[in-house]
Amino acid sequence: MLDFFRYLTAAVMTLIAVWRFPAVRYGDAHRRALWGGYAGFSVALWLYTPAAMDAVDRIPVIDLNALLRHFASTAAIIASLTYVATSYGKSSEAVTPRHVTVSRWIARASYKAGAIGVTLLTFLFFFVVDRQRQSEDFLIDHAGEWGAAAYMSVFYFFPLVTTAVCGYQWSRGARAAETTSMRIGLRLMGISMWMGLLHTTARIVIVWTAVLFPMSRSTVETLIDLTAMWMNLLFLIVAVGASIPTTSVVAARWKTWKTLYRLHPLWFDLVKAFPGTSLYPPGSRLAELIHMRVPSDVRLDRWTQDIADACEKLRYYAPEALLWTAEDAAASHPDPEPAAEAYWIAAALRAAATTKASQYATGPLQEKPFVDTNSEAAWLIRVSKAYTLIAPDAAQELLQQSAELSLESDA
């Protein structure tokens, strides 16, 4: 059961780190620090799993797995402190509150303390901890040894401070949160940090009690396993608390991706016909949806502009009567207005592929009262849906009919 929770917690924390990875490229300093915390804890949690422990044990350094996961945890803790100090430590009050000042000072001092702590951990690990044989569980196998107790006390100093600072800031931030999702998320994260404070305190008591008052291996093992279950539970609560405030963001991002997916056929044909319209050559639907050149909302704004610009260029190729012909062709369509625009685009694209641009542009498409990118994209989705159903022969026939009507009107 404990191994299952270890794998589950490591997998969940890894998913969150992957989910928030765009913050490394597009986010500000405190969001990158938050990602660093998730990434560091995911590495540390994986190093607790049996598979990772077996892999690291093949390296000819006894108990190296313990040192590596403590290094990863320390890095994650420092990143978490930085995140708290640079986000929840902000204040608009004339006099900076004491708790904000303290959290900022702790965050600044954490880098020097972390460097000292890592150096001290390394020294104690190689020269003080009794590592004559490989441990199956570092804490249990070294229970009662003062060197291991001193080593763990140095390591536990960092989570002890961090859980106290983060627990206070997140609990305080939950009371001032503007949205329900943010309030619930911060409250859960605050609870998890107070759980972490209890976990760290309990671990320190266990390791030193085993030194001062020797306990049986079964007793130590039971206590360590119980605190390990507690630790995995608090990490799951952290994961839930961190995910709740971003559900609206995820929903918006998913909606944008669906919009891009539906717009791709129309956008692709238009920017392919006019290569200079887009900032970069168009790719396949899959390639466009998975690339990370720009955020999805920025890409959607560009695509709508690309489509509008390309349609403006098509006016120099479309016959004068094409829009009337397209409206007649779409009269029986379930959604006639966007279908008419789709017919016009399909036929005009065939004209652009076979004729030269005219010196004069034909009449513009019907004006639409768009108020933002989303409303324009919603209209273009309807156009794209109709566009994908137009056969090449139907577009060619429509083009010929409009050309004949234009000649008759000129005559």
Q: Give the tens place of pLDDT for each residue, 148-157.
A: 999 999 999 9
Q: What does the DSSP 8-state code read for residue 98?
A: H
Gap between the Cα atoms of 338 and 336, Å rounded: 6
Mean pLDDT of the chain: 86
Backbone angles phi, psi at 210, to 5 degrees: -65, -25
* 145 and 261 housed in the same domain: no
Distance of CA 43 to the CA centre of its chain: 17
- The answer as to whether 247 is a domain residue is no
Q: What is the DSSP string of 123-142?
A: HHHHHTS--SS--SSHHHHT
CA atoms within 13 A on the CB side of 191: 16
CATH number for the domain including 165? Answer: 1.20.1070
Q: How far apart are the first and last CA of the chain?
A: 86
Domain holding 346, by residue range, is: 254-410
Handedness of CA 122, 123, 127, 130 (dihedral sign): negative
Find which of 40-44, 84-88, 259-263 is predicted with most confidence, using mean pLDDT. Answer: 259-263
| Per-residue pLDDT at 341 exceeds 90 | yes
* 179 and 226 housed in the same domain: yes
* 8 and 127 housed in the same domain: yes
- The answer as to whether 248 is a domain residue is no
* 210 and 290 housed in the same domain: no
Of 179, 170, 175, 181, the residue nearest 244 (C-alpha): 181
Find which of 172-181, 223-232, 239-248, 361-370 is predicted with most confidence, using mean pLDDT. Answer: 223-232
Distance of CA 194 to the CA centre of its chain: 26
Q: Indicate the helix (H) or strand (E) that contains 72.
A: helix 64-87
| Per-residue pLDDT at 276 exceeds 80 | yes
* 171 and 59 housed in the same domain: yes
CA atoms within 13 A on the CB side of 110: 26
0.75 surpassed by pTM:
no
- The answer as to whether 249 is a domain residue is no
Number of domains in the chain: 2
Given 175, 207, 242, the domain boundary residue is: 242
Given 216, 242, 268, the domain boundary residue is: 242
Gap between the Cα atoms of 161 and 108, Å rounded: 13
* 98 and 33 housed in the same domain: yes
* 207 and 350 housed in the same domain: no
Given 242, 264, 294, the domain boundary residue is: 242
* 41 and 177 housed in the same domain: yes
